[in-house]
Structure formats: C-alpha cells, structure tokens
C-alpha cells in the first residue's frame, strides 16, 4: 500500500481544508513519509481512470490529481466531487465507414495494427481520417463541410486549475508541467480536442484532466475570438470479438479566467456519442 504510511500524517489537514497539497517532487514526498514506491511518479500521480485510483485512497473517500513537476493534491470526495466521467456506450449512434478502394498497400498497413501497442492509438486516430469518419463527425456536430488537422503533441504549460466544492465555491490551484495533446481537427468555427485511449475492459471513467488540460492550450484564442473548443474522447474497445471506436463529444469548454474547471458535471456529460465499427475494415480484434 503506497499511500498508507502518509495518510495518518496528512488526514488532519484534509479534514480541515478538504485536500492536502504537495508542492515538491514525488521523490521528496517518498523520503519525507518513508514510502516504498518502486515505480516512477506518474504511476501513482497521473491516474487516467477512476478505477486506477489507489484503493488505500478511495477506501477513505480520497483521490489524487497531478499538478505537474511531481506536485499533486489529495482531495476528499466528500468535499470535492470526483473529476472523472461515467460514460455510457449504449446510446452511441453509428458513423458509417467509407471503405477506401484505392491505396491497397496503405490499407494493408492499417490492417496489421498491433492493438497491444500504445502507439496504436496514434495510428487509429489517422485511420478515421483515411476513412472519412471525421468528415461525417463535423457535419453532424456543426454542419461543416471541411476540416483541417491541427496542432498536437506535448508541451510544458502553466495555468490555473479549479475544483468546485460541493457547496459550489471554487478552489484555485496552479498547474505547471507537461501536457499531451493527442489530436485536433479544425473547422471554421471550432476545434475538436481529442484524447485517445485503448482499453479491453473499462475506459468509460476517464479523468477530466485528460481532456481539459490539452484544451487549455487554446484558451486565450477561444476567449478572444469566441472560437469553440470541443473535447472529444476517442475510446477504442477491443477484445472478445469487439473492435469498436467510441467518440464521446462534449460541450465546448468554458474557461474560468483562462483556467480549467475539473469537476463540472455538466461539462463531463457528452452532447453526442458515436461509434465506429473498425472490424469492418479487416482490423482484427484479439
């Protein structure tokens, strides 16, 4: 149990403030509380899904969110509602695939994707471009006839993060660290900000920071021009004969003084949910 040795020392502060904030490196935290954690800091702090939160935290109604550079905050769920989604796939509308009959070598290259590799997410993002899925997506969402692929990749960012208390009052925390942006597509009036994951089981409880942090990169552009930034969660489900990509399209991001709010339930509720059956393309599911 990684966190147990620290809990006795930090729980009093959590009971008073609703959270415990650490602003030094995770290595320093381990030394201070004599914690035996053999894996690298992201394994304990960068928690993509609620189901990956450590049991010794959730058993006490707690969860951890990273704030960059090894910094983190342990929050009480009694005070701060969890910033994780609870998505449903049953309502998904299918987007038909336009099967490409040209470029046989490229089609074959896509058909041999190793779905066990993390890099498969990047390839699958491009696959939907190749088969015109995004063209249909932007038509359905904003009526656009054309889109362009925009900026992506990692960069170091600094911005404010807000979490709302159950009372409705916000608490502000600084973030400084690396932020990964998986993919963007742009129309005349909005950008779609993609976070891509691949999961055989689960995947529907993604942390909102995985979508909100990348969107913040374009916050000033959005605030100055009214340009919409629409988060899209790209979830590839594979295994057991299922080979499906789900696209959860959320409302445009509403920034707070150029910062992001992590636990706004309305923001974490999709406006539209789509699915793409990629088994029809001959991409095998293990």
Same domain, 146 and 186: yes
Residue 173 forms part of a structural domain: yes
Per-residue pLDDT tens for 171-181? Answer: 999 999 999 99
Same domain, 256 and 145: yes
Domain that holds residue 233: 93-281
Give the torsion sign (CA, 30, 44, 58, 180): positive
| DSSP-derived secondary structure for 11-77 | HHHHHHHSEEEE-S-HHHHHHHHT----S-THHHH---BGGGS-HHHHTTTEEEEE-STT-EEEEET
Per-residue pLDDT tens for 270-282? Answer: 999 999 998 877 5
Cα separation, 113 vs 243, in Å, equals 12
Residue 88 forms part of a structural domain: no
Same domain, 63 and 112: no
Tokens, residue 286: 């293990």
Residue 83 forms part of a structural domain: no
> What is the tally of structural domains in the chain?
2
Reading phi first (left if > 0) and then psi (alpha if -120 to 50, else beta), residue 143 is in: left
Q: What is the mean pLDDT of the chain?
A: 90
What pTM does this model have?
Answer: 0.92
Residue 87 forms part of a structural domain: no
Same domain, 116 and 193: yes
Last residue within a domain, chosen from 48, 76, 104: 76
pLDDT of residue 104: 82
Cα separation, 24 vs 284, in Å, equals 45
119: pLDDT confidence band, cut at 50, 70 and 90? Answer: low
Q: Report whether 235 contacts 211 (CB < 8 A).
A: no
């Amino acid at each position: 149990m990684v966190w147990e040795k620290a809990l006795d020392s930090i729980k009093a502060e959590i009971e008073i403030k609703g959270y415990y904030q650490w602003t030094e490196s995770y290595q320093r935290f381990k030394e201070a509380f004599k914690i035996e954690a053999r894996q690298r800091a992201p394994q304990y702090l960068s928690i993509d899904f609620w189901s990956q939160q450590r049991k010794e935290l959730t058993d006490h109604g707690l969860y951890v969110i990273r704030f960059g550079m090894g910094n983190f905050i342990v929050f009480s769920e009694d005070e701060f509602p969890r910033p994780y989604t609870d998505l449903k796939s049953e309502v998904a509308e299918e987007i038909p695939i336009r099967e490409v009959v040209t470029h046989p070598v490229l089609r074959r290259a896509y058909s041999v994707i190793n779905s066990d590799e993390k890099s498969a997410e990047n390839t699958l993002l491009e696959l939907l471009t190749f088969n015109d899925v995004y063209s249909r997506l932007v038509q359905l969402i904003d009526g656009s006839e054309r889109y362009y692929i925009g900026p992506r990749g990692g960069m170091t960012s600094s911005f404010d993060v807000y979490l709302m208390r159950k009372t409705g009052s916000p608490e502000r925390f600084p973030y400084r660290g690396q932020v990964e942006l998986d993919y963007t597509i742009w129309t005349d009036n909005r950008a779609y900000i993609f976070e891509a994951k691949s999961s055989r089981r689960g995947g529907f409880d993604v942390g909102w920071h995985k979508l909100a942090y990348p969107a913040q990169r374009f916050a000033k552009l959005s605030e100055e021009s009214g340009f919409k930034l629409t988060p899209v969660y790209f979830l590839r489900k594979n295994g057991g004969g299922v080979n499906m990509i789900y696209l959860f399209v959320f409302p445009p991001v509403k920034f707070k003084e150029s910062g992001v709010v992590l636990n706004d339930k309305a923001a974490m509720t999709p406006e539209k949910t789509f699915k793409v059956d990629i088994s029809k393309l001959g991409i095998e599911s293990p």
